[in-house]
Amino acid sequence: MYKIILSFAIALFFVPAVIAQNKFEGYNIILDVPETQRSATCAIRYAPPTTSVTIADLNSATPMNLKSCDGGSATSLTKNSALTFSLKPNSSDFKWCFQGEDQKYRISFSGDQYAKTVIYDWVATPDEKSLGNYNVKDFGAIGDGKTDDTIAIQSALAFLATRNGGTLNFPEGDYAVGGTPNFKGIAVPSGVIIQGAGGIHTGAATNNAVRKNPTRITLNGANRALFRIGECMEKIAFRDIELIATSQQNTIGVEALGAYSSTQDTDFENVAFSSFHRGIYAHGLPQTDLNWQFDYIHINRCRFVFNTDAGIYTNVRNSDWRIENTLFINPPRTAANKADSMHFERAAGILIDNTMGGGFANALGGTFLDVLDSASILISHSQTESMTNSLVYNGVNNPYAGDYSAPITIINSAFGDPIVFQARRTFVSTGNFYGGSTFKAGEQVRVYSTGDRFCYDGYTLGCRGATKNNFDKATIVFMTGQPDDGQVKGHPTFFGTDVQFGAGVQMPSLAQTALPPNKPNGTMVYCTNCRRATTPCQAGGTGAPAMMVGGQWSCL
């Protein structure tokens, strides 16, 4: 019996090991943002199923043994060499599928007129328990700040695109990108969340020994973007991560561009944009005269740190941006660097709430909000500090900019740096603090001001000798008054709706019997049937101005 058992054990020892087969499935997906299209062209496209896919080995330690999946999802699987296979997708559902012993293979195929060759490092389909939640390191990312992780990140996003979205996690690390030839930016598909470990910016004043963000993606090189968003994309989010550049020469953190089909719902939450030319840049393409929409953008709890041209710059037919709880730390404004917080060539439905823009006392930043033309804009609970300007409207003096249809409204904010209007605009201001000479506005601006304060509290700091011009040359339609307050001289209520602009003051008209009693001395009306030079006013005349003097109406 002992010999039988021993013989059986030896036989089992020499049975060849069964190698697990991993399943690989996908489509001939092209993830690329074009710029020269002449019709609607999405950032996600597909090569035709007749396109052959080359599969290359990435692990020489294991043999290149590939098999077709059960059910024949791949119409063909051909071994080309010891290190490569080729296959074509199924002609009915355009899907390809194969099995292999490794966890990852490189696939490549011919693209289209915009992306000539497509290369991805494709991973095996994960366990069902982890579907929808992926780790960028499984696609080959290293995150050591030296190794270029461009292909790994692009491959991961293409993989998520074939599954119509998911969360791509970036564990602690510094992921370098931009080292591949002709790099323009990593395209981001719909339905994807790019998730890091924290949103603090590198070098923040935290007194920590480690001064880098725990998860950051670093763009190397000039004249390029880190991420790109193209036409007909939806539901993209960046969370808890820092995007940073090693060069500020025309570099962009996230670039959105298109010409025909709009893109909607992009969220940035707890993201730091550091040391770019522009942190976020959304623009239309010239073939449709920039007539592209990048809509419903939400920016919350973000930081834009030392972006030399602008933290946010848009030149699209955009609408519905919400910028909340966000900080812009601006570099010094120079002849070469505008150092703006936000620049909107065209804006509609913009909300800026609880947001701060600031430079430094001896190195002023640029403009907090620079707008060429707009529909409605609402700014609330926001402020600037050490900036060249708080707000500039039509800084280039475009003669076609401006109208009275939609207001720019500011509520409960503090702006001491100049506010400059150079076009027609309805301006509504409620409960704000302004400096003594904040406004530089022409008479074409119509102002509705309630509860605003000009200069500091007069019993504490006063205006410190500043000239108090209130709204400068603007046309004031309504402005609530303020009594003298310490060092601050007050002003009366201005109720412009009771007057005709460019004409004399028109007072209420009343008959002699209707003159109201007990009005304060100095009250004036026009008595339609009073005799002139009578005190108290007497009827029987052709009309006269009437003033309350000594408690009775006196007709002048």
Query: What's the start-to-end Cα distance of the chain, in Å?
Result: 137
Residue 236 in contact with residue 209, Cβ under 8 Å?
no
Distance CA 326, CA 359 (A): 15
In a domain, residue 39? The reply is yes
HEC per residue, 367-398: EEEEEEEECCEEEECCEEECEEEEEEECCCCC
Task: Identify the burial level of 2 via C-beta atoms within 10 angstroms of its C-beta, where 0-12 means exposed, 13-18 middle and 19 or more buried.
Answer: exposed
In a domain, residue 255? The reply is no
In a domain, residue 308? The reply is no
Residue pointed to by tokens 């011919």: 110
**pLDDT for the residue numbered 278:** 98
In a domain, residue 148? The reply is no
Cβ neighbours of 326 (radius 10 Å): 24
In a domain, residue 372? The reply is no
Strands 414-415 and 433-434: parallel
**pLDDT for the residue numbered 501:** 55
pTM score of the predicted model: 0.87
DSSP 511: -
Residue 474 in contact with residue 442, Cβ under 8 Å?
yes
Indicate the number of domains in the chain.
2
Residue 473 in contact with residue 446, Cβ under 8 Å?
no
Domain boundary among 125, 153, 171: 125
Distance CA 556, CA 547 (A): 8
In a domain, residue 7? The reply is no
Three-class secondary structure of residue 517 per DSSP:
coil
Domain boundary among 105, 125, 145: 125
In a domain, residue 146? The reply is no
Residue 414 in contact with residue 435, Cβ under 8 Å?
no
Domain that holds residue 524: 509-555
pLDDT, averaged in runs of 10, over the chain (556 residues): 49 48 94 97 95 94 86 71 92 89 96 95 91 95 97 98 97 95 95 95 81 93 98 98 98 98 97 98 96 95 98 89 98 97 92 97 96 92 97 94 93 96 95 92 93 88 78 90 85 69 74 93 94 96 96 96
The one-letter amino acid at 297: I
Pick from 256, 258, 353, 341: nearest CA to 303: 341
**pLDDT for the residue numbered 204:** 85
Task: Identify the burial level of 402 via C-beta atoms within 10 angstroms of its C-beta, where 0-12 means exposed, 13-18 middle and 19 or more buried.
Answer: buried
Cα-based distances in Å from 333 to 227, 269, 281, 305 = 26, 27, 19, 14
In a domain, residue 539? The reply is yes
Residue 386 in contact with residue 362, Cβ under 8 Å?
no
Domain boundary among 125, 144, 164: 125
